[in-house]
A = this chain, B = another copy of it.
Amino acid sequence: MDHSDRETSVGGKGEEQETRERILAAASQLMAQKGYKGATTRKISELAGVNEVTIFRHFKNKDAILEELLKGIMNVRQQLEDSLHGDFSELKDMLLRYARAYYEMLVERKEIMMICMIEADNHPEVMKLISSLPMTAVEVLCNKLQAFQDEGHLPRKDACVAALMFVSTCFYAFMAKYRANLELEFTEDQLFEDASEVLINGIMGKMNSHR
């Protein structure tokens, strides 16, 4: 990024890393579009602007590229939890923040998410990861809602279903846009805002009706 004179003259290390990144980026894009098999090493090399063999100097084999890409999907729980700080009074803002954070995470990982969906059955290691992001998202939100339940702000049951509905909505929006190339008739932010409202009412109304 900061190609200072020193780096340019010494060269080597920076360039090598850059080549590696270009290969990963190309592989990520192609695998997301065409699947693991469809992303041939030839196509990856062409898109990355390197010789096909160079790929194999950087990665043991094609599988190793996928494994490397999969590393990017992990460790999202903390970020999701961070976006949920705050107390019950700002629940709506909190949900909005959460939706945005989750959606952004999905978008940032859209290639690898697609790869996971696509290759779930072909690569066992993928199967384990595939649920991590979506299910973690449900879990984290569910925990927060249950905390509010414990504080008496929300009715006892069903926090999980509500969390699932909310996360589903974000995920669906993501899939519609990035997999099906569909344009929804409202922006994501509008959707998240409305969905937050519906959700809160849904749980609270429930609370009321339970009372």
Which A residues are closer than 8 A to B by beta carbons? 32-38, 117-122, 127, 130-131, 134-135, 157-158, 160-162, 164-169, 171-173, 176, 179-182, 184-186, 191, 194-195, 197-206, 208-209
| Chain B residues whose C-beta falls within 8 Å of the C-beta of A176 in the assembled complex | 131, 134-135
Task: Please give, as numbers and ranges, the residues of chain B lying within 8 Å of A131 by CB-CB distance.
Answer: 176, 180, 182
Docked-complex contact A122 and B202, CB < 8 angstroms: no
Partner of A185, one of B120, B121, B160, B208: B160
A176 and B176 alpha carbons, distance in the complex (Å): 17
> How far, in angstroms, from A180 to B33 measured CA to CA in the complex?
20
Smallest CB-CB separation from A166: which chain B residue? B165
Which of B135, B179, B206 lies in contact with A182, CB distance below 8 A?
Answer: B135
Chain B residues whose CB sits within 8 angstroms of the CB of A122 once the complex forms: 33-35, 38
The answer to whether B121 and A162 touch across the interface, beta carbons within 8 angstroms, is no
Contacts of A182 in B (CB 8 A): 131, 135
Number of this chain's copies in the complex: 4
Residue of B nearest to A142 (CB): B185
| CB-CB nearest in chain B for A157 | B194
Q: How far in angstroms is the closest Cβ of chain B from A12?
A: 15
Which partner residue on chain B sits nearest A132 by CB separation? B180
A203 contact set on B, CB distance < 8 A: 198, 201
The answer, among B117, B158, B195, B197, for a CB contact under 8 Å with A179, is B117
What 10 pairs across the A-B complex have the smallest Cβ distances? A201-B205, A202-B202, A198-B202, A205-B205, A168-B172, A168-B168, A37-B37, A161-B194, A33-B121, A131-B180
Are A161 and B191 in touch, CB under 8 angstroms?
yes
Docked Cα-Cα span, A151 to B204, in Å, equals 25
Q: Point out the residues of chain B lying under 8 angstroms from A173, CB to CB.
A: 164, 168
Residue with the highest number of chain B CB atoms closer than 10 Å, among A32, A162, A180, A197:
A180
**Partner of A161 from B35, B38, B195, B205 at Cβ < 8 Å:** B195
